[in-house]
Amino acid sequence: MARRGGRVRLLVAGLALILACRGEMVRGETRQRIELPFEGVIHIQRTQTEPRELSIHLLLIDLATPGLRFMLTPANGPEAPGETTVETTRQFVARTGAQIGVNVSFYKPAPQLPFVDNLFLMVAQGDCYSGFGNGPAINLGRDNRATLLTPAAGGAPDDCQPAQDVAPHVAFGGNERLIDGGRNVAAWEELHPRTAAGLTEDGRLMLAVVDGRQPGRSAGMTTPELAELMLEYGAVEAINLDGGGSTTLVFADPDPRLVNVPVGIDDIAGTERPVGGNLAIFVPYRDGAAEAERPMSEGDPRWYDGATTAPAERAQ
């Protein structure tokens, strides 16, 4: 019990430091709710009115959490025409028994739905079935160590060999690098729903989901804005994943449910798109969850009340 309480205090203390030290000012009203829904997982739900209405979800995942493991959508194998068969993120979570699910891969019909080929790196438990496609990727090793991967020099788009001395285990790629060594290098200026993954300096996996195409609720972000958001919460590396109608975050607590509001079918809020690749996260449940919601002043939109740690400690 003491060990669990210490881990929760470490997670919350780390988040307090991030919120106290990082990020640019945001004018207008910004609110956030901070929860600890699973062991080693911080969930930040943030809404803001400037530069436009936005609804944002961020996960910070402690990769040293006992029992944590990852699974990527597996390949169809040689019997099907495409690399994978589409399913919604919620279907994938339900099928695998995971606690968290998020969409990851860009994809195209092969030759028609429900069969698809993925456009960037996809490695499921060591089986590489889609090459880099000249995009960056994040690898989660057998020991859960996270690494940003780039294609080997001179490699073909369908090659799976990274420039780094790493054997990909669970790896997923994107179309754009958002953060490189703590620098914002993103360039896509259109507003869309967004999904992204990043790494923090202290070794956590960060997942970012931004709703969009919902006037009056959440209009979406450019990728430079997304990179700034992730820098604010401590990311030092990040990549952009499939967004738009694919953007979906699911929790199973215990039944799989939507956490964000996707626009999967015809940009209708609350509809779910079957996608070519999902990431499932298996992590122990907690006995209780800590949460807090505070209005943030224009002077400091990252305001955080350290007393928020008290419910987490009592829950132990």
Q: Summarize pLDDT for 297-313 with one digit per residue, the tens.
A: 333 333 333 222 222 22
Any domain includes 293: no
Predicted local confidence at residue 12, as pLDDT: 54
Q: Summarize pLDDT for 193-235 with one digit per residue, the tens.
A: 999 999 999 999 999 999 999 999 999 999 999 999 999 999 9
The model's pTM = 0.86
* Count of the separate structural domains present in the chain: 1
Q: Partners of 118 in the beta sheet?
A: 107
Predicted local confidence at residue 86, as pLDDT: 98
Q: Partners of 28 in the beta sheet?
A: none
Any domain includes 181: yes
Confidence label for 28 from pLDDT (cuts 50, 70 and 90): confident
User: Does the pLDDT value for residue 315 go beyond 80?
Assistant: no
Any domain includes 96: yes
Residue 205: closest CA among 257, 124, 115, 140: 140
Predicted local confidence at residue 286, as pLDDT: 86
Look over the chain and give the mean of its residue pLDDT values, rounded to a whole number.
87
Any domain includes 228: yes
Phi-psi region of 135 (alpha: psi -120 to 50; beta: other; left: phi over 0): beta
**241 compared with 6, residue with greater pLDDT:** 241
Any domain includes 60: yes
AA identity, residue 234: G
Any domain includes 298: no
Any domain includes 134: yes
**Residue 164 domain boundaries:** 2-288+305-314
Task: Give the residue carrying structure tokens 């910070």.
Answer: 60
Tokens of 130: 């889609």
Residue 12: closest CA among 313, 311, 285, 309: 309
What is the distance between the alpha carbons of residues 116 and 101, in angstroms, rounded to a whole number? Answer: 19
Give the H or E element holding residue 205.
strand 204-210
Any domain includes 50: yes
Residue 211: closest CA among 133, 169, 264: 264
Tokens of 113: 């739905």
Share of the chain above pLDDT 70, in %: 82
Assess contact for 234 and 209: CB atoms under 8 A.
no
Average pLDDT of the residues in 48-59 = 97
